[in-house]
Amino acid sequence: MEPSTPLWVPVLQTLVVFAYFLLFTALLIWAERRVVGRMQSRIGPNRIGPGGVLQTLIDGVKMFFKEDVTPSMVNNPIYTVAPLVGVIAGFLTVAVIPIGGEVTLFGEEFTLVVADLHVGVLWVLALSSLHVYSTFLAGWASNSPYPLMGGIRSSAQMISYEIAQGLAVASVFVYAGSLRVSDIVAAQAGSGPIAGMPGWYAIPLFPAFVVFVVGMVAEAGRPPFDLAEAEGELVGGFHTEYSGLRFGMFMLAEFMSVVVMSAIVVTLFLGGPSGPTFGLPDAVAWVMPVFWFTLKTAAFVFFFILLRGALPRTRYHRLMDLGWKVLIPVALVWVLVTAAWVLVSEAGGISAATRTWLAVGAGVIVIALLLTGERQTARATDADVDAWDDPDRDDPDRDAKPRAPHDEEVAP
Amino acid sequence: MLAEYLPILLLFLVASAFAVGSVAVSSLVGPRQPNPTKLSAYESGNEPLADVPGTRFSVKFYMVAMLFLIFDIEAVFLYPWALVFRELGWFGLGQMALFVGILGVAFIYEIGRGGLEWD
């Protein structure tokens, strides 16, 4: 930012980005309730506003007038700070994400981004890992069994998938050669290896893209990876002891992380706000990048909603297996493959035929790896089912037999 | 250089004002009728049994934390390399492959010893 820029420019950028993501989150909550409602053969909220679109607003207002209970055993001030950390970190993550292109207003030309930092994507990674603090501190400071278990569980989940995501992003760094978000977006703006195909990184870096998408679902703590809120076993997980608007802050942070993660994946792998402008006049051409960015982000948000409606919650060991034994190795190998590929291309590249065969070979290897991982997990599940299968189930004297002491009989 | 971060400070202030303001307003306008049951730990209606401070939990989480540290450091080494590997060329790639390979052997050993089994 040059010192000559008037002060209202950064203020406007900040407010626009803030309002954009807040509005997007509110619409997401409404859209999710409507779509999941449809998927479950019911209607969903449809009374307030056209199609029920103001439902989120009304729910938010209602939360203001709810009692905000602070249980007596909690560890203040950590208990109070934890939900705020989640929301503030969520908003700060989007600081480097451009939601549109160049805009000219009152003779000042600027981009619709809060700050285009040198460290760019590192900022995103750093701030999204701050989200773990919100979860963990909430669970820890509640001083209550369920939140503690939920907090530890989801912290382990989030840090595991954070590595997978971080390694997937490393392939983007290798390919783009820069951390700056505007460089990464600009590098994807042109045409891809085949004319007419977009130059999005999702195509050459497809495995990294898949790892990142799976990782972001787990990172946002969304179904099927919403182990933090496994209500059948943990009540509400880390936010069990929260009520009123502080609980609302956790909800806001969770839904906002869906939007933020979608925005990040769109920026890193799908070209961000780039797209055709259809030769519109300059005065309105700035709308198109915003439109493309919103459309791409909305597609990912919709994907999140469909996942929630379609898939049951996974079991914890399957979640950890997927993260550690599939995603992290794939992402690591892909960083090195990408680096080798870039070096080969710089040395003059290879013929189109060899390139095709290499791509096919790599794809086969990746699919084979994924399938073997799947089979192993399936075998493990069968073994579990056998272990759980009680041979004495039909034995009438089953209750008379001596059994292992129950948990309550062991002194805590 | 630091002027770049000024808008981020602005965003921080806006986001903090939003979050802190909402919670503060809510605590002003919301009702407040505490009673002992409401203020106790939630354990599905039972009398709170567990004494949480000092509770032990599974050592597996500790393993995950250690592995996280190792792999996060690996990622931290990867990032600067990813930015300059074009200058380093094949030598740099070989070095990084060696580094990842050493970690990979340890990782495979850990999986083989059941360090990541959850049952």
Instruction: DSSP for A102-171, please give it.
Output: EEEETTEEEESSS---SSTHHHHHHHHHHHHHHHHHHHHHT-SHHHHHHHHHHHHHHHHHHHHHHHHHHH
Residue B51 lies in a domain: yes
**Per the domain annotation, does B118 fall within a domain?**
no
> Over 70: is that where the pLDDT of B3 sits?
yes
Dihedral-angle region of residue A107 (phi above 0 means left; psi in -120 to 50 means alpha; beta otherwise): left
Chain A: give the shortest CA distance to residue B10, in Å. Answer: 7
What residues of chain B, 57 to 116, have a C-beta less than 8 Å from chain A?
A: 57, 61, 64-65, 67-68, 71-72, 75, 78-79, 82-83, 85-86, 89-90, 93, 96-97, 100, 104, 107, 111, 116
Is it the case that residue B22 has pLDDT exceeding 60?
yes
Place of tokens 């891809």: A192
Q: Would you say residue B7 has pLDDT above 60?
A: yes
Q: What tokens does A371 get?
A: 């399938």
List chain B residues with CB under 8 Å of A145: 41, 43, 50, 52, 55
Q: Is the pLDDT of residue B43 over 80?
A: no
Of the candidates A18, A116, A324, which has its C-beta nearest B11's C-beta?
A18
Q: Is residue B117 part of a domain?
A: no
Query: Distance from CA of residue A47 to its chain's centroid?
Result: 30
A252 and B15 in contact (C-beta within 8 Å)? no
Residues B83, A179: C-beta atoms closer than 8 Å = yes
Antiparallel, parallel or unpaired: β A108-111 and A102-105: antiparallel
ipTM for the assembly: 0.85
Inter-chain contact B16–A240, Cβ cutoff 8 Å? Answer: no
Q: Write down the pLDDT at residue A4.
A: 61
How many domains are contained in chain A?
Answer: 1
Residue A64 inside a domain? The answer is no
Does the beta-carbon distance from A170 to B79 stay under 8 Å? yes
Containing structural domain, residue A163: 71-272+284-349
Q: For B89, which residue in chain A has the nearest alpha carbon? A: A343
**Which chain B residues contact residue A155 at CB under 8 A?**
61
In a domain, A398, yes or no: no
Q: Would residue A363 count as lying in a domain?
A: no
Identify whether A11 is part of a domain. no
Is A372 within the bounds of a domain? no
Which range marks the domain in which residue B39 is found?
A: 2-112
Q: Which residue of B has its CA nearest to A175?
A: B82
Which of B23, B38, B75 faces A245 most closely, judged by CB atoms? B23
| Of the partner residues B5, B6, B15, the one whose CB lies closest to the CB of residue A88 | B15
Query: In this complex, which of B72, B111, B119 lies closest to A163 when CB atoms are compared?
Result: B72
pLDDT, averaged per 10 consecutive residues of chain A (412 residues), comes to 66 85 89 89 85 85 84 82 89 85 72 79 87 87 82 86 89 84 80 68 82 88 78 76 85 89 89 74 75 88 89 83 85 86 76 78 81 64 55 53 49 42
For A76, what's the count of Cα atoms within 13 Å in the CB-facing half-sphere?
Answer: 7
Asked whether residue A147 is assigned to any structural domain, the reply reads yes
Query: Considering the domain boundaries, does residue A106 fall inside one?
Result: yes
Q: 3-state SS of chain B: helix, strand, coil percent to 5?
A: 70, 0, 30
Chain B residues with CB-CB distance to A122 below 8 A:
79
3-state secondary structure of A198: strand
Return the pLDDT at A392.
52
Q: Which tokens sit at B55?
A: 């509770």
User: Is the pTM here over 0.80, yes or no?
Assistant: yes
- Cβ atoms of A324 and A238 within 8 Å: the answer is no
Residues in chain A closer than 8 A to B104 (CB atoms) = 329, 332
Cβ of B41 and A117 within 8 Å?
Answer: no
CB contact under 8 A, B96 and A117: no
Establish if B119 belongs to a structural domain.
Answer: no
Mutate to test the interface with B, among A59, A167, A231, A250 (most CBs of B within 10 A): A167
When divided into structural domains, chain B yields a total of: 1
